[in-house]
Copies of this chain bind each other. A is one copy, B any other.
C-alpha cells in the first residue's frame, strides 16, 4: 500500500449536487421513497406486508422502562428467523430478526437527505423516531428489540443467525449520518453506548465470536472515524481476525462440528486474510470485504489488503454481471462459482450491488484504479438504479438479465425473478438501502487527501474541498463532456478517472496517467475540459460463461441496454442483432438493425439456415426496464 495515494470521501455537506440526472433521483428518494418507507415502517401502507419495525421499538421501550423500574418482564423464544402472528404472541417481537435495521437505514437516508435538502417536517419525524429508538435502549447500552422484548438472557448467544451485531452496525451508520446531517448527538450517543458495551463484551478476554451477517466491522470504523477512539477500530479488527478461526466459534457455541459447508455462506470458512475468492451470501460478503478494506488501510495490514485485492479480482473478473450485479444464485442469495453467470436465474440483489459499491469505494480510497471506479459505475448506473421504479414507488430485490414472465409464474426455479417491481417486502432490505445510497451518492463521486482530489464519478456538483473549490459541469452521461472549474486553496493534484469504456478521450490540459487516472498539477484557478467518447458498443461476454455464447450486449457509456417486449414484441429470443447494426442513439433509447427469426413449426427438425425478417431493434437502458407493465426482457441478444 502506498500511503500517499490514500484518500477519504468528502463529507456530504461539502458536496452540492447540481447534476440533473442525479438530482431527479435524489428528489425521488426525498419526496417518494423516504415518506413511503416511513409509512411502511409504521405499518401504515395498505396492502403491504407488515413491517412491525416501529412497533417493536415501542414494545421494547416499555420493557426497558419496566426494567429500569425493577419490574419483571415476560420471556419469549428467540429461536426463529421470523416472528409473526401465527408463531408469536402479540406482546412478543414481530418480523425478521433484523427488522430494527430498516428503521436505522431510514434514519441514515434521512440524515443524508437533510444535508442535501433541509426539511423541518422530515427532521421532526426523524427526531421523534429516534426518541422511540433511544427509549428502548437498556441502561447498560444494549439495543436490539428482539432480545429486549423476548429474552435478555439470550443476548449474544446466537451471533450466527440472530443479527444483533448486524442491527448494531446499521444503528451506528445511521447515528453517524444523522449526526453529520443535523449535528444532533442523541442517536450517536446511543450508538456509542451500545458500541462500548460490545467492545467490553467481545475481545480476547470476552466473547470470541463475530457477526453472522457482517456490517459491524465497517460501522465500528465509522465510529472510529467520528470519535478517533481506537477501541472501535480494535473491535472491528477483532471481529475480522477471529472470523473463520478453527475450531469455528459457531461450532463451539453449538457444541457440534460443522460437516456441511464450513460457513462459506457467512464467509467464516477461513480467516478473511486468507479469503481470495468471493463466496457465500453476496451482501454479507461485500459488507465483510468493506470492513476488511477499512482495516487494511487504517491498520496498514498488507496481508488483509492482498486478500481485498484478490476478492476484487475474483468479483470483477469472474463473478460480476455486465450490469455490475453480483450473486448468481438464489440458493443462499450467493456468489456462484467462477464464470457461472446465468441470465434468467440471476439473483443479483440490489443490496449486493450497493454493498459492492461500499467495498469498491474503500478500495479506491486505498489505491485508485480505473477498474474499481468502472465497477462502481457499472453497479450504480445499472443494477442499483434498476432496483427502483422510475416513479420511486416500487422496488426490485432481484435484478435478472433475462425475464420471461411465464417462467416466473410457472417455473419454481425462477420464483425469485419478478417481472414487475414490488411495493414493499416483509424482508425489506433493498428499498431503504437504495434510499441511503442514492441520498449519499456524493460520497462515492469524490475522494481526497491533503495533496490530491480524485473525481471517480462525473456527477455535476459544487464541491468545497480541502484543496480547492471545485465546480463540475457534467454532460458525461450524454455527450461525455465534462468541465471542471477549480479555485485552488493551494497547489494540489487533480486526478480524473478515465472511463474504461471511452477508447478515445482528451483533456484541455496536460496530464500524466497512472492506473487509468489522469493526474493534473493545479497551481492556479483554472478550467479543465474532459471529453470522453460514449460510443455505442457491442460487448461480448467471455466464452467461459456458458450463457452468453454467440450473443452480445449493447452498452453506451456506463449504461447497459436491454430489449423489452413493449418495444420489440414477444419472443425476444427470436431476435438477432446485425453484425453491422447501424446504431442510432436517440437519448433514452438506441435502435439497431436486426432480424426476427421465423417461428419454428416443429419441436425438432433438420437444421437449415433460419428464415429471417429484418427489424429495427429498440434498446432501452437496463435501469429503466419494467416501467411499462409486465413483459419479456433481455440484456444479451443473439448476433
> Footprint of B on A, CB under 8 Å?
316-318, 320, 322, 329-332, 336-337, 339-340, 344-345, 404, 406-407, 410-413, 537-546, 549-550, 552, 571, 573-574, 597, 599-608, 610, 638-639
Q: List 19 A-B contacts (CB under 8 A).
A: A320-B603, A337-B406, A337-B407, A337-B411, A345-B413, A538-B606, A539-B606, A540-B605, A541-B604, A542-B603, A542-B604, A543-B573, A543-B597, A543-B599, A543-B600, A543-B610, A544-B600, A550-B550, A550-B638
Residues of B within 8 A of A552 (CB): 607
Tell me the bound Cα distance from A331 to B413 in angstroms: 7
Shortest CB–CB separation between residue A209 and chain B, in angstroms? Answer: 27
Shortest CB–CB separation between residue A634 and chain B, in angstroms? Answer: 10
Residues of B within 8 A of A411 (CB): 329, 336-337, 340
Tell me the bound Cα distance from A316 to B546 in angstroms: 28
Nearest neighbor of A404 in chain B, beta-carbon distance: B546
Identify A540's interface contact among B541, B550, B607, CB under 8 A. Answer: B607
Shortest CB–CB separation between residue A244 and chain B, in angstroms? Answer: 19
Tell me the bound Cα distance from A546 to B546 in angstroms: 14
Q: Assuming the A-B contacts A329-B413, A605-B539, are A573 and B549 also in contact, with contact meaning beta carbons closer than 8 angstroms in the complex?
A: yes
Residues of B within 8 A of A410 (CB): 336-337, 340
Residues of B within 8 A of A546 (CB): 344, 404, 573
Nearest neighbor of A319 in chain B, beta-carbon distance: B603
Shortest CB–CB separation between residue A372 and chain B, in angstroms? Answer: 15
Q: Are A603 and B318 in contact (CB under 8 A)?
A: yes
Residues of B within 8 A of A322 (CB): 604
Tell me the bound Cα distance from A411 to B329 in angstroms: 8
Identify A599's interface contact among B544, B573, B597, CB under 8 A. Answer: B544
How many protomers of this protein does the assembly include?
2
Identify A331's interface contact among B412, B545, B571, B639, CB under 8 A. Answer: B412
Residues of B within 8 A of A337 (CB): 406-407, 410-411
Tell me the bound Cα distance from A345 to B404 in angstroms: 17
Residues of B within 8 A of A318 (CB): 603
Nearest neighbor of A542 in chain B, beta-carbon distance: B600
Tell me the bound Cα distance from A424 to B404 in angstroms: 38
Tell me the bound Cα distance from A340 to B336 in angstroms: 23
Identify A638's interface contact among B316, B332, B538, B549, CB under 8 A. Answer: B549
Tell me the bound Cα distance from A541 to B574 in angstroms: 13
Q: Are B597 and A539 in contact (CB under 8 A)?
A: no
Tell me the bound Cα distance from A388 to B192 in angstroms: 65
Nearest neighbor of A538 in chain B, beta-carbon distance: B607
Residues of B within 8 A of A573 (CB): 543, 546, 549
Main secondary structure of the interface of A (DSSP, over half): loop
Closest 4 CB pairs of A and B: A542-B600, A538-B607, A331-B412, A337-B410
Q: Assuming the A-B contacts A345-B413, A550-B550, are A574 and B540 also in contact, with contact meaning beta carbons closer than 8 angstroms in the complex?
A: no
Residues of B within 8 A of A599 (CB): 543-544
Tell me the bound Cα distance from A605 to B336 in angstroms: 22
Shortest CB–CB separation between residue A285 and chain B, in angstroms? Answer: 16
Tell me the bound Cα distance from A574 to B340 in angstroms: 15
Tell me the bound Cα distance from A339 to B407 in angstroms: 10
Tell me the bound Cα distance from A120 to B329 in angstroms: 55
Besides the contacts A538-B606, A543-B571, A543-B573, what 9 more A-B pairs have beta carbons closer than 8 Å? Answer: A336-B410, A344-B546, A540-B606, A540-B608, A541-B600, A543-B597, A543-B610, A544-B600, A552-B607
Residues of B within 8 A of A329 (CB): 411-413
Q: Are B412 and A541 in contact (CB under 8 A)?
A: no
Residues of B within 8 A of A345 (CB): 413
Shortest CB–CB separation between residue A243 and chain B, in angstroms? Answer: 22
Residues of B within 8 A of A571 (CB): 543-544
Interface centre among A320, A552, A571, A603 (most CB of B within 10 A): A603
Nearest neighbor of A573 in chain B, beta-carbon distance: B546
Q: Assuming the A-B contacts A413-B331, A543-B574, are A606 and B407 also in contact, with contact meaning beta carbons closer than 8 angstroms in the complex?
A: no
Residues of B within 8 A of A604 (CB): 322, 539-542
Tell me the bound Cα distance from A231 to B140 in angstroms: 79
Nearest neighbor of A609 in chain B, beta-carbon distance: B579
Identify A607's interface contact among B331, B340, B406, B539, CB under 8 A. Answer: B539
Shortest CB–CB separation between residue A400 and chain B, in angstroms? Answer: 13
Interface centre among A406, A537, A549 (most CB of B within 10 A): A549
Tell me the bound Cα distance from A549 to B604 in angstroms: 12
Identify A537's interface contact among B404, B606, B638, CB under 8 A. Answer: B606
Q: Are A603 and B541 in contact (CB under 8 A)?
A: yes
Nearest neighbor of A544 in chain B, beta-carbon distance: B600
Shortest CB–CB separation between residue A411 and chain B, in angstroms? Answer: 6
Residues of B within 8 A of A412 (CB): 329, 331-332
Shortest CB–CB separation between residue A234 and chain B, in angstroms? Answer: 36
Q: Are B413 and A602 in contact (CB under 8 A)?
A: no
Tell me the bound Cα distance from A538 to B638 in angstroms: 20
Residues of B within 8 A of A539 (CB): 604-607
Q: Are B542 and A639 in contact (CB under 8 A)?
A: no
Residues of B within 8 A of A543 (CB): 571, 573-574, 597, 599-600, 610
Shortest CB–CB separation between residue A338 and chain B, in angstroms? Answer: 8
Tell me the bound Cα distance from A349 to B639 in angstroms: 34
Shortest CB–CB separation between residue A516 and chain B, in angstroms? Answer: 15
Residues of B within 8 A of A404 (CB): 546
Nearest neighbor of A552 in chain B, beta-carbon distance: B607
Q: Are B340 and A602 in contact (CB under 8 A)?
A: no
Residues of B within 8 A of A544 (CB): 571, 599-600
Q: Are A603 and B317 in contact (CB under 8 A)?
A: yes
Interface centre among A404, A542, A604 (most CB of B within 10 A): A604
Tell me the bound Cα distance from A605 to B542 in angstroms: 8
